[in-house]
Structure 1
Amino acid sequence: MIDFHCHLDLYPDPEAAATGAQQDQVSVLSVTTTPSAFTGTATLAAGRPMIRTALGLHPELAHERSHELPLFDELVCTTPFVGEIGLDGSSRFAQTRTVQAEVFTHILRSCCDVGGRILSIHSRGAVRATLDALRESPDAGIPVLHWFTGTARQAEKAIEQGCWFSVGTSMLISARGRELVAMFPRDRVLTETDGPFATHEDRTVVPSDVAVTQRLLAACWDIEPSQAQDLVASNLQALLASGAEDRSAARPGDEPPTT
């Protein structure tokens, strides 16, 4: 099973969350929200080969943590994964859109400078601006749009630009979400939880809850759950084989995830 977007460090007990993911044989991309959180979060992967750690600067924190961009530039060469990054167009963060754009542009350029990265991207309420920024930095790497909530036309544009998508249970339990997922190329879809921020049946999700996502994804695609699991696993291997992983230095405990 694959959880391509999870905030392991933000669970009440990160060690327990990481141990559970390893025991349940879930390949986890452990995303971070600030560069200063990366080194500590990466220790959760030590001795747990199912876990990889991404370097991020969340758009909701861009106005508070833009001073950490030099640290981002220093660390980006140590991991093939970058996330959570992106733009947030919700009204709550309307006053920070300029700095968000500056931070996102800087991050994309930094990724270009090191040969590209696999990117886990937040685009809530800002899909057009996100795609425009990606178009201006084509060498930044492979964009994986996390929890995509744009329009069908925006989904088409994202597909045209070569974007991938990570989908969770919340997308697949709504009719609109299923319509979007049905549009995505099946060979560019990964599963995610976005734990601990997402919930299912009134409880916080954990990485093993991607099993629920797989079942819902299989129903959306009209195939067997085992087929959906195999396809998503194949997609992950194709993504890792893209070459981005070979362009960075390995970190202790960061062996390639298995499926």
Structure 2
Amino acid sequence: MMDLHCHVDLYPDHDKVLKDIDSSGIYVLSVTTVPSAFRGTVALTNKLNNCRTALGLHPQLAHQRYNELSLFDSLCDGTRYIGEIGLDGSKGYAEHMEVQQVVFEHILNKCCEFNDKILTVHSLNAVDKVLELLSVYPKAGRPILHWFLATKKQVDRAVELRCYFSIGPAMLHSARAKKIISWLPKDRVLLETDGPFAKVKGKILFPSDVIEVVNYLSMQWNTSADAVQYQLKINLKTLLT
């Protein structure tokens, strides 16, 4: 199994999340929110063979940290994984959309210099613009749309753009999110937690909690949990190769 969107460095108890990753054996992508956090997060998880660190600049921080783009550029060849990146059109952030777009396009353009990047992308209340920019920069890498809330038409467009979709336990507590999950092609589904920000019944999610999604997909797909895990394994392998 995997957790392809987890803010390992932002857990209040690092020892607890690192132990969870180690003991579960789950493949974890530790995303960062600013380039200046990248090296420290790599150091935090460097003893874990099943954890990789992504280089990111979160859209909610773009207007404050756009001056870190040069640092992003200097670090970009040090990891295959890029995230968290994207756009956020929700209240309090829509007013900064112009600088968010400058930052997102800069990152996508930089990633076009490589041929193997995996992108974990935030698109809250900005789905159409995110998809438009991913279509403009098709060589930037393979996008994983994190916690994707969209219309059926937008899902279909994302599939056309060869996107993957990471879904987490917190999404299972939303009727809207479950409807969207039902639209996703089985061969594009991956798992995430978005811990420690995402919670279920007030409890912070840890990577091992992705089993809840496996059990849900088992019911939705009318197959065994083992079959779901096998499909997810194939999806991850295809993404990475």
- Normalised TM-score (structure 2): 0.97
Could you tell me which residue of structure 1 aligns to residue 101 of structure 2? 101
The equivalent residue for 1:214 is 214
Give the aligned partner of residue 133 of structure 1. 133
SS at structure 1 position matched to 2:92 = helix
Rounded to whole Å, the distance in 2 between the matches of 1:155 and 1:192 is: 18
**Using CA pairs below 8 Å that are at least 6 residues apart, which structure has the higher relative contact order?**
1
How far 1:74 moved relative to its partner? 0.6
Q: Distance in 2 between matches of 1:220 and 1:149?
A: 18
| Contact 1:182–1:221 under 8 Å retained in 2 | no
Q: Which moved more, 1:226-235 or 1:99-108?
A: 226-235
Deviations 1:217-241 (CA, angstroms, capped at 9, x unpaired): 2222221112111111121111111
Moved over 3 A (4+): none
Q: Which residue of 2 aligns with 1:194?
A: 194
Question: Partner of 2:220: helix, strand, or coil?
Answer: helix
Q: Which amino acid aligns with 1:190?
A: L
The 3-state SS of whatever aligns with 1:17 is helix
Cα distance between partner residues in 2 of 1:10 and 1:217 = 28
Deviation larger for 102-111 or 158-167: 158-167
Equivalents in 2 of 1:10, 1:232: separation in Å? Answer: 26
Superposed CA RMSD in Å reads 1.1
Tell me, in whole angstroms, the C-alpha distance in 1 between the residues paired with 2:159 and 2:11: 32
Query: How much does 1:34 deviate?
Result: 0.3
One-letter identity of the residue aligned with 2:88: D
Where do 5+ consecutive residues of structure 1 fail to align? 242-259
Q: Residue 181 of structure 2 aligns to a residue in which SS?
A: helix
Once residues 114 and 63 of structure 1 are traced to their aligned partners in structure 2, the CA distance between those partners, rounded to angstroms, is: 26
2:4 match: 4
Q: Which amino acid aligns with 2:136?
A: E
Q: How high is the sequence identity, in percent, across the aligned residues?
A: 46
| Residue number in structure 2 paired with 1:239 | 239
1-side partners of 2:50 and 2:207: how far apart?
11
- CA apart distance, 1:18: 1.7
**Cα distance 1:217–1:173, how it changes in 2: closer, same or farther (>3 A)?**
farther
* One-letter code aligned to 2:202: D
User: Matches of 2:70 and 2:237 in 1, distance apart?
Assistant: 31
Q: In the TM superposition, what are the counterparts of 1:55-66 in structure 2 within 5 Å? A: 55-66=55-66
- Aligned pairs, number: 241
Say if 1:29 and 1:54, in contact at 8 Å, map to a contact too: yes
Q: Helix, strand or coil: the match of 2:25?
A: coil
> Which digits, 9 at most, give the CA deviation of each residue in 1:6-49, with x for residues without a partner?
00000012233122211111110000000000000011331211
| Equivalent position amino acid for 1:102 in 2 | V
**1:169/1:216 contact within 8 Å kept:** no
Structure 2 residue ranges without an equivalent (≥5): none
Normalised to the residue count of structure 1, the TM-score between the two structures is: 0.90
Q: Give the match for residue 48 of structure 2.
A: 48
1:149-208 Cα deviation digits (max 9, x unpaired): 111111111111111100012223333222211221111110110000111132111111
SS at match of 1:213: helix
Question: Once the 2 structures are TM-superposed, how far is the Cα of residue 98 of structure 1 from its aligned partner?
Answer: 0.2
Alignment partners' CA distance in 2, 1:221 and 1:44: 37
